[in-house]
Amino acid sequence: MPDKAFPSIIVFDVNETLLDITTLEPLFDRIFGDPGVLREWFAQLVLYSQAMTLAQLYTPFGELGIGALKMTASIHGVGISDEDVAELKERMSSMPAHQDVVPALTRLQNAGFRMVTLTNSASAATPTPLEQAGISHFFEKNFNVSTVGKFKPAPETYHLVATELSVETSDLCLLACHLWDTIGAQAAGCQGAFLARPYNAPLSAPNVPIPDLCASDLITLADEIIRRRQGS
């Protein structure tokens, strides 16, 4: 029998989960001589977005991204020009979807799931990053945290989606490749589907919520979601 307890609304994280941030690597290779510094910058960006929320402060994610780039450059003893900042903005607004995204979203759409997005990034002018990537038509609505002035994994961000959709958080499954995101969602009452993309892995420690579903590619994870919903 179908598992009606498993949510029919999937809430997708955007950056790295759907959109491929490795397309930023040429910028970091040019500035730092090492494309791997992308990961250092991204970790700083996530860290300070969460620090701002804990301090009850808010600055748009894109502005924090620029600040994190300049901070990372200062740590490495290199300079950042206006052209570097402009290139970061351009690359962040035009990241392509991962190759597994369209097939997975098509599967979920055909299975009758409602799909929305929830991102730390503020609203973008048209065309949006999802439109640029050619996947915006899959999603019913796109939410960003600027409405509540807090970054994920603050509980208010997940409650925002539930409130706007007139459902309970238990009616939502948050799908992300960042465990800190699924932790926050599960703590807020959602179910969590973890996508173990490269540079992301589960965390085993006391009281850390275990994701309800986990897979290393989005197609497999979508199929698991469909099976769970159908009860097979």
* Structural domains of the chain sorted by starting position, each given as residue range(s) with its CATH number in brackets: 9-20+95-230 (3.40.50.1000), 21-93 (1.10.150.240)
pLDDT at 122: 85
pLDDT at 4: 58
pLDDT at 2: 55
Report cis status (omega within 30 of 0) of the bond before 155: no
The model's pTM: 0.95
* % the chain with pLDDT above 70: 98
Q: What is the average pLDDT score of the chain?
A: 95
Mean pLDDT score, 157-175: 98
Q: Is 129 exposed, middle or buried (0-12, 13-18, 19+ CB in 10 A)?
A: buried
Checking if the pLDDT of 232 tops 80, the result is no
Largest CA distance in the chain: 60
Checking if the pLDDT of 176 tops 50, the result is yes
